[in-house]
């Protein structure tokens, strides 16, 4: 039991409150729009703690909520068959990045994280949904996977460019939800392996990450309740605006 709380005892009560709030908010966003948990959590936690520490805390909540998302829809085999080149290159790219790039200094990674969040927000706000022709999937999928893996290893955020690519495949709603869940699951697991190999994931971080599952799941339940009562497009726009502001804050040095 001591292991579960040791990291929170080290960082103090004020950062512990931030962790709980970050995962509650991130889970709520994911419950409403089906994504956003790692992005929101990394962005908020990256303001106040080492990015490697934030990424370690993210590991179990992200994996659990992604498996939840992955289990729904009934199209798992179809999704895997279509996306395996993307998924394989995400794993390879994350592995290469973890060995060659890794998560560097807090200052440098904070700026990289801010840039990733800001670019992703601008894409969500202003770019139309991409249309990926079937003939381009054979080369574009692996390329997007490799780039996503490298960005994941450097920032802890695994949405660029995998999410725009998956959204451009023309999948139906259930397939899209499962495809995003599959992509996020592979990214979070390979990021966890990279953190472990670099010595950034020990018993204290795993215990703290396991406890963070509670606010993340509670947030998802709240988000699913909100989804029936608010406009998802309006919520998504507010999400991207908030993400852009957070990215600018991190770019300016936090």
User: For residue 248, how many other CB atoms are within 10 A of its CB?
Assistant: 14
The dihedral region occupied by 35, where left means phi > 0, alpha psi between -120 and 50, and beta the remainder, is beta
How confident is the model over 142-156, as a mean pLDDT?
90
Contacts 24+ apart (CB under 8 A), 121-125: 121/240, 121/241, 121/243, 121/244, 121/247, 122/244, 123/160, 123/164, 124/236, 124/239, 124/240, 124/243, 125/237, 125/240, 125/241, 125/244
Q: Which domain holds residue 38?
A: 2-251
**pLDDT value for 83:** 92
Q: Is the pLDDT of residue 188 over 60?
A: yes
Please count the CA atoms within 13 angstroms of the CA of 61 that sit on its side-chain side. Answer: 37
Q: What is the pTM of this model?
A: 0.81
Share of the chain above pLDDT 70, in %: 89
Q: How many domains does the chain have?
A: 1
Within 10 angstroms of residue 214's Cβ, the number of other Cβ atoms is 14
Q: Where are the alpha helices (DSSP H) in 156-211?
A: 162-167, 173-197, 203-211
Using pLDDT thresholds of 50, 70 and 90, give the confidence band for residue 252: confident
Q: In b/e form, how buried is each residue of 26-43, taking b as 16+ CB within 10 angstroms?
A: bbbbbbbebbbbbbbbbb
- Who has greater pLDDT, 9 or 49? 49
Selection from 187, 199, 193 nearest residue 151 by Cα: 187
Higher per-residue pLDDT: 144 or 109: 144
Give the distance, in angstroms, between the CA of residue 123 and the centroid of all CA atoms in the same chain: 16
């Amino acid at each position: 039991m001591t292991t579960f709380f040791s990291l929170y005892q080290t960082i103090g009560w004020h950062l512990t409150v931030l962790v709980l709030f970050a995962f509650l908010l991130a889970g709520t966003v994911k419950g409403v729009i089906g994504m956003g948990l790692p992005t929101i959590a990394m962005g908020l936690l990256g303001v106040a703690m080492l990015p490697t520490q934030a990424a370690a805390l993210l590991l179990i909540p992200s994996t659990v909520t992604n498996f939840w998302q992955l289990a729904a829809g009934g199209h798992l085999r179809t999704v895997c068959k279509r996306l395996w080149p993307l998924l394989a290159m995400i794993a390879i790219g994350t592995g290469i990045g973890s060995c060659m790039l890794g998560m560097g200094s807090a200052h440098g990674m904070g700026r990289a994280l801010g840039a990733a969040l800001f670019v992703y927000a601008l894409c969500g706000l202003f770019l139309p949904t991409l249309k990926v022709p079937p003939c381009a999937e054979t080369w574009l999928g692996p390329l997007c996977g490799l780039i996503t893996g490298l960005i994941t290893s450097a920032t802890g955020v695994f949405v660029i460019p995998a999410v725009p690519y998956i959204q451009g495949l023309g999948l139906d709603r259930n397939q899209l939800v499962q495809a995003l869940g599959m992509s996020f699951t592979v990214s979070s697991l390979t990021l966890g392996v990279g953190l472990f190999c670099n010595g950034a994931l020990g018993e204290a971080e795993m215990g703290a990450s396991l406890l963070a599952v509670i606010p993340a799941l509670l947030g998802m339940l709240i988000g699913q309740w909100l989804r029936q009562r608010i406009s998802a497009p309006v919520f998504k726009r507010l999400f991207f605006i908030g993400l852009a502001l957070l990215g600018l804050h991190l770019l300016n040095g936090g």
